[in-house]
Structure 1
Amino acid sequence: MRKLVKNKNVLLIEDNTELQNLISTFLKSYNYDCFVYSQPLEALEEFKKESSKYCIVILDLGLPGMDGFDLFKKLKEIKNIPIIISTARDDIGNKIHGFELGADDYLSKPYEPRELVLRIDATLKRYTDDDKIKINELFIDLDKKTVFLDDHQIEFTKIESEIFFMFINNINKVVSREDILNQTSLKKDTKNRTIDMHVSNIRFKINDDSKDAKYIKSVWGIGYKFIDDN
Protein backbone atom coordinates (compact mmCIF):
# COMPACT_ATOMS: atom_id res chain seq x y z
CA MET A 1 0.00 0.00 0.00
CA ARG A 2 1.52 3.28 -1.11
CA LYS A 3 0.78 6.91 -0.44
CA LEU A 4 -0.39 8.54 -3.62
CA VAL A 5 2.76 10.58 -4.09
CA LYS A 6 5.03 7.52 -3.95
CA ASN A 7 4.48 7.35 -7.71
CA LYS A 8 7.72 8.97 -8.93
CA ASN A 9 7.07 9.25 -12.65
CA VAL A 10 7.88 12.71 -14.02
CA LEU A 11 6.50 14.06 -17.29
CA LEU A 12 9.19 16.36 -18.74
CA ILE A 13 8.07 18.56 -21.64
CA GLU A 14 11.23 20.19 -22.96
CA ASP A 15 12.53 20.59 -26.54
CA ASN A 16 16.19 21.18 -25.68
CA THR A 17 17.83 17.77 -26.18
CA GLU A 18 20.87 18.55 -24.04
CA LEU A 19 18.70 19.71 -21.17
CA GLN A 20 16.41 16.69 -21.60
CA ASN A 21 19.33 14.33 -21.11
CA LEU A 22 20.77 16.30 -18.21
CA ILE A 23 17.48 16.45 -16.30
CA SER A 24 16.52 12.82 -17.04
CA THR A 25 19.89 11.49 -15.90
CA PHE A 26 19.91 13.58 -12.75
CA LEU A 27 16.34 12.71 -11.77
CA LYS A 28 17.07 9.03 -12.26
CA SER A 29 19.86 9.25 -9.70
CA TYR A 30 17.20 10.40 -7.22
CA ASN A 31 14.84 7.52 -8.11
CA TYR A 32 12.54 9.53 -10.37
CA ASP A 33 11.57 8.03 -13.72
CA CYS A 34 11.53 10.75 -16.34
CA PHE A 35 9.38 10.49 -19.47
CA VAL A 36 10.44 13.11 -22.02
CA TYR A 37 8.47 14.81 -24.77
CA SER A 38 9.68 17.57 -27.12
CA GLN A 39 6.39 18.15 -28.94
CA PRO A 40 3.52 19.60 -26.90
CA LEU A 41 0.79 17.81 -28.84
CA GLU A 42 2.48 14.44 -28.30
CA ALA A 43 2.86 15.19 -24.61
CA LEU A 44 -0.79 16.19 -24.41
CA GLU A 45 -1.94 12.97 -26.08
CA GLU A 46 0.21 10.93 -23.70
CA PHE A 47 -1.21 12.78 -20.69
CA LYS A 48 -4.79 12.25 -21.88
CA LYS A 49 -4.20 8.49 -21.98
CA GLU A 50 -1.92 8.10 -18.96
CA SER A 51 -2.53 10.98 -16.55
CA SER A 52 -2.62 8.66 -13.53
CA LYS A 53 0.90 7.49 -14.41
CA TYR A 54 2.53 10.79 -13.43
CA CYS A 55 3.05 12.55 -10.12
CA ILE A 56 4.35 15.85 -11.53
CA VAL A 57 5.00 17.76 -14.76
CA ILE A 58 8.11 19.80 -15.57
CA LEU A 59 7.06 22.20 -18.31
CA ASP A 60 9.11 24.45 -20.59
CA LEU A 61 7.28 27.50 -21.93
CA GLY A 62 9.16 27.96 -25.23
CA LEU A 63 7.84 24.95 -27.13
CA PRO A 64 7.35 24.41 -30.87
CA GLY A 65 3.79 24.68 -32.11
CA MET A 66 2.14 25.67 -28.83
CA ASP A 67 2.86 28.20 -26.12
CA GLY A 68 3.74 26.61 -22.80
CA PHE A 69 1.03 28.53 -20.96
CA ASP A 70 -1.62 27.16 -23.34
CA LEU A 71 -0.31 23.66 -22.77
CA PHE A 72 -0.32 24.30 -19.02
CA LYS A 73 -4.05 25.06 -19.10
CA LYS A 74 -4.83 21.99 -21.21
CA LEU A 75 -2.92 19.72 -18.82
CA LYS A 76 -4.77 21.16 -15.83
CA GLU A 77 -8.11 20.61 -17.58
CA ILE A 78 -7.30 16.91 -17.79
CA LYS A 79 -6.03 16.53 -14.22
CA ASN A 80 -5.04 18.80 -11.37
CA ILE A 81 -1.45 17.62 -11.30
CA PRO A 82 1.50 19.54 -9.78
CA ILE A 83 3.35 21.51 -12.47
CA ILE A 84 6.76 23.18 -12.19
CA ILE A 85 7.55 25.66 -14.95
CA SER A 86 11.14 25.42 -16.21
CA THR A 87 11.90 28.24 -18.63
CA ALA A 88 14.26 30.88 -19.94
CA ARG A 89 11.48 33.45 -19.53
CA ASP A 90 12.69 34.97 -16.29
CA ASP A 91 10.77 38.26 -16.36
CA ILE A 92 8.38 39.00 -13.52
CA GLY A 93 5.34 39.19 -15.83
CA ASN A 94 5.69 35.58 -16.93
CA LYS A 95 6.34 34.43 -13.38
CA ILE A 96 3.21 36.18 -12.12
CA HIS A 97 1.15 34.74 -14.96
CA GLY A 98 2.48 31.24 -14.24
CA PHE A 99 1.55 31.42 -10.58
CA GLU A 100 -1.84 32.94 -11.43
CA LEU A 101 -2.55 29.89 -13.60
CA GLY A 102 -1.69 27.61 -10.69
CA ALA A 103 1.96 26.71 -11.18
CA ASP A 104 3.44 25.06 -8.12
CA ASP A 105 6.90 26.49 -8.78
CA TYR A 106 8.78 28.52 -11.40
CA LEU A 107 12.45 27.89 -12.22
CA SER A 108 14.33 30.28 -14.47
CA LYS A 109 17.03 28.76 -16.68
CA PRO A 110 19.86 28.14 -16.21
CA TYR A 111 19.64 26.34 -12.89
CA GLU A 112 21.38 23.47 -11.17
CA PRO A 113 19.58 20.10 -11.62
CA ARG A 114 19.87 19.53 -7.87
CA GLU A 115 17.69 22.58 -7.34
CA LEU A 116 15.03 21.05 -9.56
CA VAL A 117 15.06 17.86 -7.47
CA LEU A 118 14.66 19.89 -4.28
CA ARG A 119 11.74 21.81 -5.83
CA ILE A 120 10.09 18.55 -6.94
CA ASP A 121 10.51 17.03 -3.47
CA ALA A 122 9.08 20.12 -1.79
CA THR A 123 6.13 20.27 -4.19
CA LEU A 124 5.22 16.62 -3.73
CA LYS A 125 5.37 16.95 0.06
CA ARG A 126 2.60 19.51 -0.18
CA TYR A 127 0.52 16.95 -2.02
CA THR A 128 1.11 14.17 0.51
CA ASP A 129 -2.12 12.91 2.00
CA ASP A 130 -2.15 9.97 4.38
CA ASP A 131 -5.77 9.30 3.48
CA LYS A 132 -4.99 8.79 -0.21
CA ILE A 133 -3.25 5.60 -1.30
CA LYS A 134 -2.45 3.78 -4.51
CA ILE A 135 -2.58 0.02 -4.98
CA ASN A 136 -1.63 -0.98 -8.51
CA GLU A 137 -4.20 0.81 -10.72
CA LEU A 138 -6.51 1.69 -7.82
CA PHE A 139 -6.50 5.17 -6.27
CA ILE A 140 -8.26 5.11 -2.92
CA ASP A 141 -9.43 8.00 -0.74
CA LEU A 142 -9.91 6.53 2.73
CA ASP A 143 -11.51 9.67 4.10
CA LYS A 144 -14.10 10.17 1.35
CA LYS A 145 -14.51 6.41 0.79
CA THR A 146 -14.00 6.79 -2.94
CA VAL A 147 -12.13 4.50 -5.32
CA PHE A 148 -10.81 5.32 -8.78
CA LEU A 149 -9.63 2.95 -11.49
CA ASP A 150 -7.67 4.71 -14.26
CA ASP A 151 -9.18 8.07 -13.21
CA HIS A 152 -12.75 6.73 -13.36
CA GLN A 153 -14.64 6.57 -10.09
CA ILE A 154 -16.02 3.14 -9.22
CA GLU A 155 -19.66 3.09 -8.16
CA PHE A 156 -20.03 0.59 -5.32
CA THR A 157 -23.28 -0.27 -3.62
CA LYS A 158 -23.40 0.42 0.14
CA ILE A 159 -22.58 -3.19 1.01
CA GLU A 160 -19.86 -3.45 -1.63
CA SER A 161 -18.22 -0.30 -0.29
CA GLU A 162 -18.32 -1.61 3.28
CA ILE A 163 -16.73 -4.91 2.24
CA PHE A 164 -14.13 -3.23 0.02
CA PHE A 165 -12.94 -0.83 2.72
CA MET A 166 -12.94 -3.65 5.24
CA PHE A 167 -10.49 -5.41 2.91
CA ILE A 168 -8.41 -2.24 2.59
CA ASN A 169 -8.22 -1.90 6.37
CA ASN A 170 -6.93 -5.46 6.52
CA ILE A 171 -4.41 -5.51 3.66
CA ASN A 172 -2.68 -8.90 3.30
CA LYS A 173 -4.78 -10.36 6.14
CA VAL A 174 -7.43 -13.04 5.83
CA VAL A 175 -10.96 -11.71 6.28
CA SER A 176 -13.49 -14.43 6.98
CA ARG A 177 -17.07 -14.46 5.78
CA GLU A 178 -18.06 -14.30 9.42
CA ASP A 179 -16.00 -11.11 9.82
CA ILE A 180 -17.77 -9.62 6.80
CA LEU A 181 -21.15 -10.58 8.21
CA ASN A 182 -20.41 -9.11 11.65
CA GLN A 183 -18.69 -5.91 10.55
CA THR A 184 -20.98 -4.73 7.75
CA SER A 185 -24.66 -3.90 7.53
CA LEU A 186 -25.51 -7.31 6.06
CA LYS A 187 -28.36 -9.10 7.79
CA LYS A 188 -27.19 -11.72 10.25
CA ASP A 189 -28.96 -14.51 8.37
CA THR A 190 -27.17 -13.65 5.09
CA LYS A 191 -25.93 -16.78 3.32
CA ASN A 192 -22.30 -17.30 2.35
CA ARG A 193 -23.21 -17.38 -1.32
CA THR A 194 -24.69 -13.87 -1.00
CA ILE A 195 -21.43 -12.61 0.52
CA ASP A 196 -19.53 -14.30 -2.30
CA MET A 197 -21.80 -12.57 -4.83
CA HIS A 198 -21.00 -9.16 -3.34
CA VAL A 199 -17.27 -9.94 -3.50
CA SER A 200 -17.66 -11.12 -7.09
CA ASN A 201 -19.31 -7.78 -7.95
CA ILE A 202 -16.43 -5.91 -6.34
CA ARG A 203 -13.93 -7.96 -8.33
CA PHE A 204 -15.72 -7.13 -11.55
CA LYS A 205 -15.75 -3.40 -10.80
CA ILE A 206 -12.05 -3.22 -9.92
CA ASN A 207 -11.06 -5.32 -12.94
CA ASP A 208 -9.92 -8.32 -10.90
CA ASP A 209 -10.04 -11.98 -11.90
CA SER A 210 -10.73 -14.68 -9.31
CA LYS A 211 -8.66 -17.19 -11.32
CA ASP A 212 -5.65 -14.88 -11.44
CA ALA A 213 -6.24 -12.52 -8.53
CA LYS A 214 -4.45 -9.19 -8.60
CA TYR A 215 -6.34 -7.85 -5.58
CA ILE A 216 -8.82 -10.21 -3.90
CA LYS A 217 -7.58 -13.74 -3.30
CA SER A 218 -9.99 -16.45 -2.15
CA VAL A 219 -8.94 -18.36 0.95
CA TRP A 220 -10.59 -21.75 0.69
CA GLY A 221 -13.10 -22.51 3.42
CA ILE A 222 -12.51 -19.20 5.22
CA GLY A 223 -12.99 -16.05 3.16
CA TYR A 224 -10.76 -13.60 1.35
CA LYS A 225 -7.47 -11.71 1.46
CA PHE A 226 -6.85 -8.38 -0.29
CA ILE A 227 -3.26 -8.59 -1.47
CA ASP A 228 -0.73 -5.83 -2.03
CA ASP A 229 2.81 -6.90 -2.86
CA ASN A 230 4.29 -3.37 -3.01
Structure 2
Amino acid sequence: MSERRTPPPTTRILVVDDDPTVAEVVTGYLDRAGFAVEHAADGPDALLRAGERRPDLVVLDLMLPGLDGLEVCRRLRETGPVPVIMLTARGDEEDRITGLEVGADDYVTKPFSPRELVLRVESVLRRSQRAAGPSPVRTVLANAGLALDQATRRATRQGRELALTLREFDLLAHFLEHPGTAHTREALMRSVWGWDFGDLSTVTVHVRRLRAKIEQDPARPRLIQTVWGVGYRFDPGQCATQEAEA
Protein backbone atom coordinates (compact mmCIF):
# COMPACT_ATOMS: atom_id res chain seq x y z
CA MET A 1 0.00 0.00 0.00
CA SER A 2 1.03 3.61 -0.51
CA GLU A 3 1.81 5.82 2.46
CA ARG A 4 -1.29 6.58 4.49
CA ARG A 5 -2.58 10.13 4.58
CA THR A 6 -5.07 11.78 6.91
CA PRO A 7 -8.28 12.27 4.91
CA PRO A 8 -10.03 15.64 4.76
CA PRO A 9 -12.66 15.91 7.53
CA THR A 10 -15.35 16.26 4.87
CA THR A 11 -14.63 12.81 3.40
CA ARG A 12 -17.90 10.96 4.10
CA ILE A 13 -18.21 7.19 4.36
CA LEU A 14 -21.59 5.46 4.47
CA VAL A 15 -21.41 2.08 6.23
CA VAL A 16 -24.36 -0.21 5.39
CA ASP A 17 -24.60 -3.30 7.60
CA ASP A 18 -27.45 -4.76 9.65
CA ASP A 19 -25.10 -6.43 12.15
CA PRO A 20 -24.70 -3.87 14.97
CA THR A 21 -21.40 -5.37 16.15
CA VAL A 22 -19.80 -5.24 12.69
CA ALA A 23 -21.20 -1.77 12.08
CA GLU A 24 -19.83 -0.49 15.40
CA VAL A 25 -16.34 -1.88 14.74
CA VAL A 26 -16.18 -0.61 11.14
CA THR A 27 -17.51 2.86 11.93
CA GLY A 28 -15.16 3.10 14.93
CA TYR A 29 -12.05 2.29 12.90
CA LEU A 30 -13.04 4.62 10.06
CA ASP A 31 -13.84 7.41 12.51
CA ARG A 32 -10.43 7.04 14.15
CA ALA A 33 -8.84 7.13 10.67
CA GLY A 34 -10.30 10.61 10.23
CA PHE A 35 -13.42 9.98 8.15
CA ALA A 36 -16.91 11.35 8.75
CA VAL A 37 -18.93 8.14 9.07
CA GLU A 38 -22.67 7.52 8.78
CA HIS A 39 -24.42 4.18 9.32
CA ALA A 40 -27.48 2.63 7.65
CA ALA A 41 -28.89 -0.71 8.83
CA ASP A 42 -30.74 -1.75 5.66
CA GLY A 43 -30.91 -1.20 1.90
CA PRO A 44 -33.79 1.32 1.73
CA ASP A 45 -32.25 3.45 4.48
CA ALA A 46 -28.91 3.39 2.67
CA LEU A 47 -30.46 4.65 -0.57
CA LEU A 48 -32.38 7.34 1.34
CA ARG A 49 -29.25 8.61 3.08
CA ALA A 50 -27.19 8.49 -0.12
CA GLY A 51 -29.94 10.41 -1.92
CA GLU A 52 -30.05 13.11 0.73
CA ARG A 53 -26.29 13.60 0.77
CA ARG A 54 -24.05 11.63 -1.53
CA PRO A 55 -21.19 9.90 0.30
CA ASP A 56 -17.61 9.80 -0.97
CA LEU A 57 -17.54 6.01 -0.52
CA VAL A 58 -19.94 3.25 0.58
CA VAL A 59 -18.96 0.19 2.63
CA LEU A 60 -21.82 -2.14 1.73
CA ASP A 61 -22.78 -5.51 3.21
CA LEU A 62 -23.99 -8.07 0.67
CA MET A 63 -26.72 -9.56 2.87
CA LEU A 64 -29.18 -6.86 3.96
CA PRO A 65 -32.86 -6.72 4.91
CA GLY A 66 -35.20 -4.91 2.55
CA LEU A 67 -32.82 -4.80 -0.40
CA ASP A 68 -29.66 -6.86 -0.70
CA GLY A 69 -26.29 -5.26 -1.28
CA LEU A 70 -26.21 -6.11 -4.99
CA GLU A 71 -29.47 -4.24 -5.64
CA VAL A 72 -28.34 -1.31 -3.50
CA CYS A 73 -25.10 -1.15 -5.50
CA ARG A 74 -27.01 -1.21 -8.80
CA ARG A 75 -29.30 1.63 -7.71
CA LEU A 76 -26.42 3.70 -6.40
CA ARG A 77 -24.65 3.33 -9.74
CA GLU A 78 -27.77 4.49 -11.59
CA THR A 79 -27.60 7.87 -9.85
CA GLY A 80 -23.92 8.51 -10.52
CA PRO A 81 -20.40 7.26 -9.75
CA VAL A 82 -19.64 6.45 -6.12
CA PRO A 83 -16.91 4.06 -4.93
CA VAL A 84 -18.28 0.90 -3.27
CA ILE A 85 -16.49 -1.67 -1.13
CA MET A 86 -18.66 -4.73 -0.58
CA LEU A 87 -18.62 -6.88 2.55
CA THR A 88 -19.60 -10.52 2.28
CA ALA A 89 -19.73 -13.34 4.80
CA ARG A 90 -20.02 -15.93 2.06
CA GLY A 91 -17.13 -18.06 0.92
CA ASP A 92 -18.57 -18.63 -2.54
CA GLU A 93 -16.35 -16.95 -5.13
CA GLU A 94 -19.36 -16.41 -7.40
CA ASP A 95 -20.89 -14.01 -4.87
CA ARG A 96 -17.71 -11.94 -4.80
CA ILE A 97 -17.50 -11.92 -8.59
CA THR A 98 -21.15 -10.85 -8.85
CA GLY A 99 -20.40 -7.93 -6.55
CA LEU A 100 -17.58 -6.78 -8.81
CA GLU A 101 -19.73 -7.24 -11.90
CA VAL A 102 -22.49 -4.93 -10.61
CA GLY A 103 -19.92 -2.21 -10.07
CA ALA A 104 -18.26 -2.69 -6.66
CA ASP A 105 -14.69 -1.38 -6.65
CA ASP A 106 -13.51 -3.91 -4.11
CA TYR A 107 -14.79 -6.50 -1.66
CA VAL A 108 -13.71 -7.77 1.75
CA THR A 109 -14.74 -11.18 3.05
CA LYS A 110 -15.92 -11.55 6.66
CA PRO A 111 -14.29 -12.06 9.07
CA PHE A 112 -11.86 -9.32 8.09
CA SER A 113 -9.23 -7.13 9.68
CA PRO A 114 -10.68 -3.64 10.35
CA ARG A 115 -7.24 -2.20 9.67
CA GLU A 116 -7.17 -3.87 6.26
CA LEU A 117 -10.61 -2.44 5.51
CA VAL A 118 -9.36 1.07 6.34
CA LEU A 119 -6.43 0.56 3.97
CA ARG A 120 -8.81 -0.61 1.24
CA VAL A 121 -11.01 2.45 1.79
CA GLU A 122 -8.02 4.77 1.53
CA SER A 123 -6.80 3.02 -1.62
CA VAL A 124 -10.17 3.17 -3.41
CA LEU A 125 -10.60 6.83 -2.44
CA ARG A 126 -7.16 7.72 -3.79
CA ARG A 127 -8.00 6.15 -7.14
CA SER A 128 -11.39 7.83 -7.41
CA GLN A 129 -10.05 11.23 -6.34
CA ARG A 130 -7.19 10.93 -8.81
CA ALA A 131 -9.71 10.22 -11.57
CA ALA A 132 -11.75 13.28 -10.61
CA GLY A 133 -8.72 15.52 -10.13
CA PRO A 134 -6.82 17.75 -12.58
CA SER A 135 -6.24 16.32 -16.03
CA PRO A 136 -2.90 14.54 -16.49
CA VAL A 137 -0.34 15.98 -18.88
CA ARG A 138 -0.94 13.15 -21.33
CA THR A 139 -4.67 13.19 -21.92
CA VAL A 140 -5.19 10.90 -24.92
CA LEU A 141 -4.17 7.28 -25.45
CA ALA A 142 -4.94 5.51 -28.71
CA ASN A 143 -4.18 2.11 -30.22
CA ALA A 144 -5.95 -0.74 -32.01
CA GLY A 145 -9.04 1.35 -32.72
CA LEU A 146 -9.32 2.30 -29.04
CA ALA A 147 -9.06 5.86 -27.77
CA LEU A 148 -9.06 7.05 -24.15
CA ASP A 149 -9.36 10.70 -23.18
CA GLN A 150 -8.02 10.87 -19.66
CA ALA A 151 -9.25 14.43 -19.15
CA THR A 152 -12.89 13.55 -19.75
CA ARG A 153 -12.59 9.87 -18.70
CA ARG A 154 -14.22 8.86 -22.00
CA ALA A 155 -13.26 5.79 -24.01
CA THR A 156 -14.23 4.80 -27.56
CA ARG A 157 -13.78 1.79 -29.82
CA GLN A 158 -13.95 2.49 -33.55
CA GLY A 159 -15.58 5.82 -32.65
CA ARG A 160 -18.28 4.28 -30.46
CA GLU A 161 -18.26 5.22 -26.80
CA LEU A 162 -17.60 2.48 -24.27
CA ALA A 163 -19.36 2.30 -20.90
CA LEU A 164 -16.40 1.59 -18.63
CA THR A 165 -16.26 1.61 -14.86
CA LEU A 166 -13.47 3.53 -13.11
CA ARG A 167 -11.35 0.39 -12.73
CA GLU A 168 -12.00 -0.82 -16.29
CA PHE A 169 -10.93 2.58 -17.63
CA ASP A 170 -7.73 2.56 -15.58
CA LEU A 171 -6.97 -1.03 -16.56
CA LEU A 172 -7.40 -0.29 -20.26
CA ALA A 173 -5.29 2.85 -19.92
CA HIS A 174 -2.52 0.77 -18.36
CA PHE A 175 -2.66 -1.74 -21.21
CA LEU A 176 -2.57 1.05 -23.81
CA GLU A 177 0.42 2.63 -22.09
CA HIS A 178 2.32 -0.68 -22.17
CA PRO A 179 1.48 -2.46 -25.45
CA GLY A 180 3.14 -5.82 -25.94
CA THR A 181 4.18 -6.11 -22.30
CA ALA A 182 3.20 -9.19 -20.29
CA HIS A 183 1.81 -8.24 -16.87
CA THR A 184 1.30 -10.55 -13.91
CA ARG A 185 -1.95 -10.15 -12.01
CA GLU A 186 0.10 -9.06 -8.98
CA ALA A 187 1.73 -6.29 -11.04
CA LEU A 188 -1.64 -5.16 -12.39
CA MET A 189 -3.06 -5.06 -8.87
CA ARG A 190 -0.20 -2.83 -7.75
CA SER A 191 -0.25 -0.55 -10.79
CA VAL A 192 -3.99 -0.22 -11.41
CA TRP A 193 -5.50 -0.79 -7.97
CA GLY A 194 -2.61 0.51 -5.89
CA TRP A 195 -2.70 -2.57 -3.64
CA ASP A 196 0.22 -4.65 -2.43
CA PHE A 197 -2.16 -7.40 -1.31
CA GLY A 198 -5.63 -8.65 -2.14
CA ASP A 199 -7.61 -11.32 -3.97
CA LEU A 200 -6.21 -11.68 -7.48
CA SER A 201 -9.63 -12.74 -8.81
CA THR A 202 -10.43 -9.01 -8.72
CA VAL A 203 -8.01 -8.58 -11.65
CA THR A 204 -9.39 -11.64 -13.44
CA VAL A 205 -12.96 -10.37 -13.25
CA HIS A 206 -12.06 -6.90 -14.54
CA VAL A 207 -10.06 -8.33 -17.45
CA ARG A 208 -13.06 -10.49 -18.35
CA ARG A 209 -15.43 -7.51 -18.19
CA LEU A 210 -13.06 -5.38 -20.25
CA ARG A 211 -12.75 -8.08 -22.91
CA ALA A 212 -16.54 -8.22 -23.16
CA LYS A 213 -16.52 -4.52 -24.07
CA ILE A 214 -13.58 -4.26 -26.47
CA GLU A 215 -13.14 -7.67 -28.10
CA GLN A 216 -14.99 -8.74 -31.24
CA ASP A 217 -15.30 -12.21 -29.72
CA PRO A 218 -14.67 -12.15 -25.94
CA ALA A 219 -14.50 -15.96 -25.91
CA ARG A 220 -11.51 -15.73 -28.29
CA PRO A 221 -9.74 -12.55 -27.20
CA ARG A 222 -7.20 -11.06 -29.56
CA LEU A 223 -6.39 -7.71 -27.94
CA ILE A 224 -6.03 -8.73 -24.28
CA GLN A 225 -4.32 -12.08 -24.47
CA THR A 226 -3.70 -14.54 -21.67
CA VAL A 227 -0.02 -15.32 -21.20
CA TRP A 228 -0.13 -18.72 -19.54
CA GLY A 229 1.84 -18.89 -16.33
CA VAL A 230 2.31 -15.11 -16.32
CA GLY A 231 -0.85 -13.03 -16.72
CA TYR A 232 -2.07 -10.80 -19.55
CA ARG A 233 -0.67 -8.87 -22.51
CA PHE A 234 -2.28 -6.16 -24.65
CA ASP A 235 -1.42 -7.04 -28.27
CA PRO A 236 -2.50 -4.28 -30.69
CA GLY A 237 -0.84 -6.19 -33.53
CA GLN A 238 -3.79 -8.58 -33.47
CA CYS A 239 -6.23 -5.78 -34.24
CA ALA A 240 -5.68 -5.76 -38.01
CA THR A 241 -6.28 -9.51 -38.21
CA GLN A 242 -9.32 -9.21 -35.98
CA GLU A 243 -10.87 -6.47 -38.15
CA ALA A 244 -10.03 -8.30 -41.39
CA GLU A 245 -11.94 -11.35 -40.19
CA ALA A 246 -15.01 -9.31 -39.20
Equivalent position of 1:122 in the other structure: 123
Tell me if structure 1 keeps the 8 A contact 2:88–2:96. no
TM-score relative to the length of structure 2: 0.49
Equivalent position of 1:165 in the other structure: none
CA displacement at 1:38 relative to structure 2: 0.3
CA displacement at 1:19 relative to structure 2: 0.9
The correspondence for 1:35, drawn from 28, 32, 38, is: 38
Equivalent position of 1:103 in the other structure: 104
Whole-angstrom distance in 1 between the partners of 2:129 and 2:69: 27
| Structure 2 gaps, min length 5 | 1-6, 136-150, 153-246
The residue type equivalent to 1:24 in the other structure is T
Equivalent position of 2:62 in the other structure: 61
Equivalent position of 2:82 in the other structure: 81
The correspondence for 1:16, drawn from 11, 19, 22, is: 19
Whole-angstrom distance in 1 between the partners of 2:119 and 2:109: 15
| Structure 1 gaps, min length 5 | 133-142, 145-230
Whole-angstrom distance in 1 between the partners of 2:33 and 2:91: 27
Equivalent position of 2:155 in the other structure: none
Cα displacement string for residues 150-174 of structure 1 (whole angstroms, at most 9, x for unaligned residues) = xxxxxxxxxxxxxxxxxxxxxxxxx
Cα displacement string for residues 41-60 of structure 1 (whole angstroms, at most 9, x for unaligned residues) = 11111111211xx1100000
Name the larger-Rg structure. Answer: 1
Whole-angstrom distance in 1 between the partners of 2:103 and 2:42: 22
CA displacement at 1:128 relative to structure 2: 2.3
Whole-angstrom distance in 2 between the partners of 1:118 and 1:74: 26
CA displacement at 1:62 relative to structure 2: 0.8
| Map 1:141-152 → 2, pairs under 5 A | none
Partner of 2:53, secondary structure, is: helix
Equivalent position of 1:222 in the other structure: none
What is the alpha-carbon root mean square deviation over aligned residues? 1.7
Partner of 1:127, secondary structure, is: helix
**Divergent runs of 4+, >4 A:** none
Q: How many corresponding residue pairs?
A: 128
Whole-angstrom distance in 1 between the partners of 2:128 and 2:56: 10
Partner of 2:100, secondary structure, is: helix
TM-score relative to the length of structure 1: 0.53
Whole-angstrom distance in 2 between the partners of 1:88 and 1:59: 12
Equivalent position of 1:47 in the other structure: 50
Whole-angstrom distance in 2 between the partners of 1:101 and 1:121: 21
The residue type equivalent to 2:83 in the other structure is P
Partner of 1:128, secondary structure, is: helix
Whole-angstrom distance in 1 between the partners of 2:127 and 2:107: 16
The residue type equivalent to 1:66 in the other structure is L
Equivalent position of 1:208 in the other structure: none
Cα displacement string for residues 118-159 of structure 1 (whole angstroms, at most 9, x for unaligned residues) = 101111111123328xxxxxxxxxx67xxxxxxxxxxxxxxx
Task: State the identity %.
Answer: 32
Q: Which of the pair has the greater relative contact order for Cα pairs under 8 Å at 6+ separation?
A: 1
Equivalent position of 2:183 in the other structure: none
Whole-angstrom distance in 2 between the partners of 1:93 and 1:22: 27
